[in-house]
Amino acid sequence: MSDNRFMRTKALLGDENFSYLKNSSVMIVGLGAVGGYTLEALARAGVGKLILVDFDKVEETNINRQILALESTIGQSKATVAAQRVKDINPSCEIVIKEIFVNNETLPSLLEEKADFVIDAIDSLNPKCGLMEMLVNNKIPFISSMGAALKTDASCIKLQPLHKTSNCRLARFIRKRLKKRGVDISKIMCVSSDEQINIPDTALFIDDTELPAENTRVRHTMGSLPTITAIFGLTIANATILYLSKLKKF
């Protein structure tokens, strides 16, 4: 297959930098609202290998913000839907699917797949902290997504070290937990929003139309916009592309 579909990316990055990107492998953990848009951009940029990690299936309530969620994909494995979409974008991309729930027992299996870079797009606190700790301890470069729900101001979204985030409840909990585990959070890069929010009464609710998936607990559902979650994902993808093509360091 020719590289014509990527010629604009190559024209901007240069042949050598594009070759770094093309020969890179990226693991995306979580293929929901943020991870799906990250995947889309990385596939269209020409990343050569993608490791897709998600145990979940597409649900109707995902359609408002997840690029993989369509009427035709409801009930299907997110990882499988993601793999099919990537192959339609770039048939030459090597794809590895890992349909696992990330926890202390399954984390070691992620290290079996050698990734040059990891995207943490998990939205559950315990699995997220476990993954971040493992990546730091194994010196694997990564970007983590903080909370995109309840946010509306796109101008407040930024890539920054975890210890510099503000007005993000998820980031606050993660900082506290990782510090207790002795993890150096100053070297963890994340995408977050510093927006100070005023939460309407309707923005937090329990969705009783869905049964909790295996290995999960009932949680409050938080309102979110497709624009904000997409910008989170695309911001992560942009930083990843520049890092892998050796044009920018964190």
The CATH number for 173's domain is 3.40.50.720
- Tell me how many domains the chain contains: 1
Dihedral class, residue 104 (left if φ above 0, else alpha if ψ from -120 to 50, else beta): alpha
Mind listing the pLDDT tens digit for each residue in 46-74?
A: 999 999 999 999 999 999 999 999 999 99
> Looking at residue 124, what is its pLDDT?
92
Domain that holds residue 141: 4-244
Res. 206 pLDDT band, cuts 50 70 90:
very low
CB atoms within 10 A of CB 106: 16
Q: Residue 221 is encoded by which pair of tokens? A: 């559902």
Kindly give the pairing relationship between strand 204-205 and strand 189-193: unpaired
What dihedral do alpha carbons 197, 167, 239, 162 form, nearest 10°?
Answer: -160
Percent of the chain whose predicted confidence (pLDDT) is above 90: 86
Res. 217 pLDDT band, cuts 50 70 90:
very low
Residue 79: exposed, middle, or buried by beta-carbon count in 10 A (0-12, 13-18, 19+)? buried
Mind listing the pLDDT tens digit for each residue in 90-148?
A: 999 999 999 999 999 999 999 999 999 999 999 999 999 999 999 999 999 999 999 99
- The DSSP element (H or E) to which 243 belongs, if any, is helix 226-244
> Looking at residue 220, what is its pLDDT?
66
> Looking at residue 184, what is its pLDDT?
93
DSSP 111: T
Contact present, 65 and 225 (Cβ < 8 Å): yes
Rg (CA), the chain: 17
Across the beta sheet with 157-161, the strand order is 94-98, 49-53, 25-29, 117-120, 142-145, 189-193, 157-161
Query: Is 89 inside a domain boundary?
Result: yes
Query: Is 77 inside a domain boundary?
Result: yes
**Quick one: which of 94, 89, 80, 79 has its CA closest to 30?**
79
> Looking at residue 222, what is its pLDDT?
83
> Looking at residue 197, what is its pLDDT?
85
* pLDDT above 50: residue 183: yes
Kindly give the pairing relationship between strand 221-222 and strand 142-145: unpaired
Res. 201 pLDDT band, cuts 50 70 90:
low
Q: What are the Cα distances from residue 39, in Å, to 20, 26, 106, 175?
A: 18, 9, 22, 26
Query: Is 93 inside a domain boundary?
Result: yes
* pLDDT above 90: residue 204: no
Q: What's the rounded mean pLDDT across residues 186-205?
A: 79
Whose tokens are 């991309």? That residue is 93
Res. 40 pLDDT band, cuts 50 70 90:
very high
Query: Is 170 inside a domain boundary?
Result: yes
Q: What's the rounded mean pLDDT across residues 67-85?
A: 98
- How many Å apart are CA 81 and CA 69, to the nearest integer? 9
Query: Is 167 inside a domain boundary?
Result: yes
Query: Is 201 inside a domain boundary?
Result: yes
Contact present, 61 and 172 (Cβ < 8 Å): no
Query: Is 249 inside a domain boundary?
Result: no
> Looking at residue 212, what is its pLDDT?
47
Query: Is 235 inside a domain boundary?
Result: yes
Res. 205 pLDDT band, cuts 50 70 90:
very low
- How many Å apart are CA 157 and CA 227, to the nearest integer? 11
